[in-house]
């Protein structure tokens, strides 16, 4: 009953460092998403992949890249981390968004 | 981008009280979803609504799809301490069913 698994759970980066956030789902969902959550801002979409082999920008894509490695895995990369990217990052997957997403438990990232 | 406005932003209530919150949009929605996020976790789907005027319950939670299709409401009856968390509304972006936009959330805190 894993659902959506995100790694790591916590990370501290120095400004300018790079890292990749990993996400995997075991529900055979077609669509996968990356959101960031900041206090008072709700959940904002960074990138999404409506199906294997496709990726599209969301509301706040600047400073990020994504890779849909296969149907199960969707990674988010920060090439040169900035303090403004300090946030909680959530990965989600869905068979059809109108039926709702299943979220992972999040990655808490601090950039100093 | 599309915006869903939730009110109130936060609320403190006593155990046993009823709670009401709402979500409004400037655009028409065909689907409304309500999520709850426990502290330190990802959001979990509570209720999905697909038809204007629809009223759906999940235990002590009841949600309604507004007649204008521009709003939705969530009520919690007889609140208990485990109701603490952030409640989000969500709906599909206009013109696409491939992704959801989320409201800014209502933070609920319950005092004994």
pLDDT tops 80 at residue A40: no
Look at residue B1 and tell me whether its pLDDT is greater than 60. no
Band the pLDDT of B110: cuts 50, 70, 90.
confident
Q: Is the pLDDT of residue B95 over 90?
A: no
Q: What does B79-111 look like in DSSP terms, one character per residue?
A: --GGG-EEEEEEEEPTT-SS-EEE---EEEEEE
Per-residue pLDDT, B15: 94
**Interface touch A97/B103, C-beta < 8 Å:** no
B82 φ/ψ angles, rounded to the nearest 5 degrees: -75, -5
Shortest Cα–Cα distance, B102 to chain A (Å): 6
Q: What pLDDT, on the 0 to 100 scale, is given for residue B6?
A: 95
CA distance B33 to chain A (A): 7
Cβ–Cβ below 8 Å for A98 and B41: no
CB A74 within 8 A of CB A35: no
What phi-psi label fits residue A53: left (phi over 0), alpha (psi between -120 and 50 degrees) or beta?
Answer: left
- Are B90 and B29 in contact by the 8 Å Cβ rule? The answer is no
Mean pLDDT, rounded, for B27-41: 93
Q: Which residues of A52-90 are buried (b: 16+ CB within 10 A; e: fewer)?
A: eeebeebbbbeebebebeebbbbbbebeebeeebbbbbb
Instruction: Please answer yes or no on whether A59 and B31 come within 8 Å at the CB atom.
Output: no
What is the overall mean pLDDT for chain A?
A: 95
Cα A95 from Cα B29, distance rounded (Å): 19
Which residue has 């933070």 as its token pair?
B107
Give the H/E segment covering residue A37: strand A31-38
A38 beta partners? A42
Q: Of B22, B106, B110, B36, nearest to B68 (Cα)? A: B22
Per-residue model confidence as pLDDT tens digits over B43-77 = 999 999 999 999 999 999 999 999 999 999 999 99
Please give the mean pLDDT across all residues of chain B: 92
pLDDT band at A39 (very low <50, low <70, confident <90, very high): confident
Write out pLDDT tens, residues A51-93: 999 999 999 999 999 999 899 999 999 999 999 999 999 999 9
Residue B79 tokens, joined = 């609140």
Question: Residue A2 — very low, low, confident or very high, per pLDDT cuts 50/70/90?
Answer: confident
């Amino acid at each position: 009953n894993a659902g959506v698994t995100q790694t790591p759970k916590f990370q501290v980066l120095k400004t300018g460092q790079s890292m990749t956030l990993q996400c995997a789902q075991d529900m055979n969902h077609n669509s996968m998403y990356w959101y960031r959550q900041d206090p008072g801002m709700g959940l904002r979409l960074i990138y999404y992949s409506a199906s294997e082999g496709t990726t599209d920008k969301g509301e706040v894509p600047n400073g990020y890249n994504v890779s849909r490695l296969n149907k199960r895995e969707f990674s988010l990369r920060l090439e040169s981390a900035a303090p403004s990217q300090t946030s909680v990052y959530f990965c989600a997957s869905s068979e059809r968004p109108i039926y709702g997403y299943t979220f992972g438990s999040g990655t808490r990232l601090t950039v100093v | 981008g599309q915006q869903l406005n939730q009110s109130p932003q936060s609320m403190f209530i006593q155990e046993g009280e009823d709670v009401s919150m709402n979500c409004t949009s400037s655009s028409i929605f065909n689907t409304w979803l309500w999520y709850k996020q426990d502290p330190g976790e990802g959001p979990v789907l509570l209720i999905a609504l697909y038809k204007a005027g629809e009223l759906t319950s999940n235990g002590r939670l009841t949600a309604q799809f507004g007649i204008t299709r521009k709003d939705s409401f969530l009520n919690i009856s007889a609140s208990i301490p485990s109701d603490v968390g952030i409640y989000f509304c969500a709906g599909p972006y206009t013109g696409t069913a491939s992704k959801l936009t989320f409201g800014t959330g209502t933070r609920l805190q319950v005092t004994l």
